[in-house]
Structures are given as C-alpha cells and as structure tokens.
Amino acid sequence: MSAECQDEAWARPSAQSLRELVDLEAGRISPRIFWDESIYRLELERIFARCWIFVAHESQVKLPGDFLTTTIGEDGVIVARGADDQVRVLLNACPHRGNRVCFAEAGNARRFTCNYHGWSFGRDGALLGMPAEEVYEQTCPGFDKSELGLVQARVASYKGLIFATFDPGAPSLDDFLGDYRWYLDVLLDTDEGGTEFLPGNIKSVIDCNWKVPAENFVGDSLHAQWTHNSGAVAMLGTGVGKAKQDSVYQANANGHGMQFGFDMVGNAMTLGEPEVVQYIREREALVAERLGKLRSRMVGAMGSATLFPTFSFLAGLNTVRTWNPRGPHRTELHTWVIVNRDAPSSIKEKYRRGVMRTFSPSGTLEMDDGENWENVTRTAAGVVARRQKLHYALGLRSQVQHEELPGNVHQRKFNDSNQRAFFGRWLDLLAAEDWSQVPGGR
C-alpha cells in the first residue's frame, strides 16, 4: 500500500462495504453515497484522478497561446494550446511551493508565472526559469530544470471535446467511451463543419452531491411531468407532453447513458424559438445522410444524457454542462451552449437565448431541478434517512435487442436502467485498486 493510501486508510471504505450500499440486482441504493465524506474522498482518488474528464472544447483554445483554467475533481488544471498547436492539460500547481500558477479564467499567454517566487513555465509546462537561478544551480546537487515542469495529464479528443486523465494506466479515450460514441454523435457530428461553444460560460453553485444531477441527466424522465410542468406551461402554454412508454429508449455503455425518443424536436420546442425547430426539420435529410434515419430523429428529440462521470447535455436544447465536485455536499455547475459551427448566426443567437431562459441559474426549468437536488442531499444527513435504501428498480427487466442501437438498450419511458448502469460503473471504479480491476463495461 502506498504512503498516500496508508495516510487515508482510516477513512477508506472497503469494497465490501461499498457493495452493501449499492444493490444493483434489487435496484436499491443507500443515501449515504450522497453524504459520506470518506466516500467523497475515495471518489476524488478513484474516479476523478482516474477517469477521462472533459476539460474544454477545441473552439475555446483555437490559437497558440489560448488557455483556460478548470478543474479535474478538485485539482486545478490549465488547458493550453502550445506553439506546436498541441493542446496540453497542466496541473495548476507550482512544483516549488505548490501555489496556484494561473489565476485567470481564460486568455492568451506566452508563459505562466507563479506569483509566489517567480517560477515561470511555458505553455508546454516546461520550467523556463526563476529569479536567482544561479543559486539553485550552485547549491542544489543535480539541479535539472527539465524535471521541474508542471505535471501533465494525458490528453485526447473526440470530435471537438477535449478530455484529460492523470492516470497513466487508464484505457484509451475511445475504449473509455465505447459504444457511447454512437450517441455522442447526435450532439457532435450532424454537420460537416463540426461544433463550437458559444462565447461565455455560466458558473453557479448548487448545494448538492455531484452524483444527484449527473444521474438525473443520465435518464430520469419521470421527474419532468411533475417538476417541470408549471415551467412548461409558463414557457409554452401547455404542460409536459406524455410520450408513449414504448416510444422512448434508454441506452448505456461503460456507465455513460442517454434517454431518447424519435420525435425529432421535443427538446428543441422547449427553447421557445420556432426558428430553431424549423432549422432542425430542414436539416433532417442532411443529418440522415450523415448519421442515418434513426439518429436524424434524435437530434432535437425529448431526452437527456450524461457521459460518466460529470459531462451532461440535452440534445435539441444544446445545453452542455459539467457537475464539478466541491465537497460531498456542493457542486459547481459550468454551463455552455453548443452549436453547429456553420449554423446561421441568427440560429446560434436563438439557441443562446433559449438556453438562458430554460437551463441557466435563472432559467424556468433549472431552478426547479436545483431545489430538488439540494433537498435530496440534505435529507441524506439524517441518521434514520441514511438507513433506508432508495428505490432504483424501474425497468429491471426492460432490456431489449435493437438492430441499430448499440450498447445496453432498454425500452420504456419511465426506467431506472441508466441510473443503475451509472452507479454500477461508480461502484466498479471505487472498489478497484487500479484499472486492471475495473470490468470492461456493463
């Protein structure tokens, strides 16, 4: 056992105790996983320091010198494009005294300089120099600047999305995503020009455990007609539509999940922008030629998705978000609007306005969600409340074979299959010492 593991062994839940909290066979889960500090610390180590985590879209770091700062778990990172046009993800911690190196949210820079002792680093993370450098050379045996650069993560991208992991033993990004790439393309690959994030990033704080919203987006349609009905009436003049149970599917792979129908514009209509709905309808044949008829009907359809652990999106509404942990009881939500790069500027603006009205801190729909997520987390603080097992058993026998849909496919609108897959992946990772012990998928 490593020294780090020994230091934290007193708080480390055993694999057996974790399995007692998550019973996938019966579809029952303990609320302790939303409250317990020791579980959260293990998540930082075995999920966020181990998995491929979304850090940026390529459109946010287009030019050499472009950078932004974000987090992987609670580790600050710098995402920077170098002079060689390569995007790197650097730990935002000076190897000298550990101070944060870059405090800016985004910009363009030739180098990053720590404001504590003046150590300066290139966009590739290399240590360029420091004040009184000759003193280090004279008094530090074997002093070698090349060994003192910023820690670098592995970096890979998928159709504009940039991911990073600090685990050298992690599988490739393609293997991590698996069959889920087929579903991601509904968001990322409907146009030859690719996608871009519109300028601006809304950050807000929700007093909830990060898993609560992540599992909501992975496929919880049951809450919509209760939680969002009044918002839908206010926005559209009508309540949430009641799709037929068998017209909606859930699909998951490696803990990533998407719930969807084939109505083409159900989500898009929620934006309250008729021109967006028309834009999607007009492009149906083009998308069908690119992705096939089935996915052309999913582009703006009613549904939601989460890429494990924290990247979520709503096709049609084109809102993209990450649930960034800030402790077991707090989540920092980062929200963007994603559009086809070659879409008319008027359509991009209507997407932006529609998302701000619906899924932003002041949006008519997100306010309802946030209240529920906070209450779920707070309730888990109760001793008696933590003793009960929450019900995740909808659709235990709903898996189907579909000739076109990859991954594990389930039918019926009201279904917990994606949530069970999400928590199954969570359990696999927390119970494993390293990637060699993580099952290939569920």
Task: Please report, for residues 72, 198, 204, 288, 431, the alpha-carbon distance to residue 336 in angstroms, rounded to integers and kept in the order given.
Answer: 17, 7, 12, 26, 33
Write the burial class of residue 438 (CB in 10 Å: 0-12 exposed, 13-18 middle, 19+ buried).
buried
Residue 303 lies in a domain: yes
Rounded CA-CA distance 334/213 in Å is 12
Q: Which residue, 126, 157, 188, sits at the end of a domain?
A: 157
Q: What is the pLDDT of residue 234?
A: 63
CA 288, 216, 174 angle in degrees (round to 5)? 50
Quick one: 250 and 304 in the same domain?
yes
pTM higher than the cut 0.85: yes
Nearest to 109 by CA among 82, 76, 127: 82
Is residue 372 situated within a structural domain? Answer: yes
Closest CA to 318 of 282, 286, 360: 360
pLDDT at 366: 83
Query: Is the confidence at residue 232, as pLDDT, over 70?
Result: no
Examine residue 370 and state whether it is found in any structural domain, yes or no. yes
Tell me the CATH number at 399: 3.90.380.10
DSSP β-ladder status, 408-411 and 399-400? antiparallel
Q: Is residue 301 part of a domain?
A: yes
Predicted pLDDT at 397: 87
How, if at all, do strands 319-325 and 331-340 pair?
antiparallel
pLDDT for the residue 109: 97
278, part of any domain: yes
Please check whether residues 86 and 216 belong to one and the same domain.
no
pLDDT band at 1 (very low <50, low <70, confident <90, very high): very low
Give the mean pLDDT of 16-20: 94
User: What confidence tens digit (pLDDT) does each residue in 196-217 have?
Assistant: 999 999 999 999 999 999 999 9
The answer as to whether 189 is a domain residue is: yes
* Domain span including residue 332: 180-437
Does 329 score more than 70 pLDDT?
yes
pLDDT band at 142 (very low <50, low <70, confident <90, very high): confident
pLDDT value at 442 more than 60: no
- Nearest by Cα to 122 from 93, 68, 95, 83: 83
Whether 214 and 273 share a structural domain? yes
Helices (H), 302-382: 345-358, 366-379
Q: Write phi, then psi, for 347 (nearest 5 degrees).
A: -70, -40
Helix (H) or strand (E) holding 334: strand 331-340
Q: How many domains does the chain have?
A: 2
pLDDT band of 223, cuts 50, 70, 90: confident
**Which residues sit opposite 311 in a β-bridge?**
307, 322
pLDDT digits 0-9 by tens, 260-292: 999 999 999 999 899 999 999 999 999 999 999
Q: Is residue 384 part of a domain?
A: yes
Q: Which two tokens stand for residue 384?
A: 């008696």
With vertex at residue 28, the alpha carbon angle to CA 24 and CA 30, rounded to the nearest 5 degrees, is 115
| pLDDT tens-place string over residues 92-135 | 999 999 999 999 999 999 999 999 999 999 999 999 999 998 99
CA distances from 164 to 49, 50, 88, 90, 424 (A): 10, 10, 9, 10, 22
Block residue for tokens 């690719």: 194
Does residue 185 sit in the same domain as residue 300? yes
DSSP state of 179: G
Q: Looking at the structure, do residues 258 and 335 belong to the same domain, yes or no? A: yes
| 239 and 138 within one domain | no
Instruction: Examine residue 223 and state whether it is found in any structural domain, yes or no.
Output: yes
Instruction: Give the span between the Cα atoms of 135 and 132, in whole angstroms.
Output: 6
Q: Mark whether 131 and 248 lie in a shared domain.
A: no
pLDDT digits over 78-95, tens only?
Answer: 999 999 999 999 999 999
Alpha-carbon gap, residue 20 to 15, rounded angstroms: 9
In contact, 338 and 187? CB cutoff 8 Å: yes
Among the candidates 157, 188, 206, a domain finishes at 157
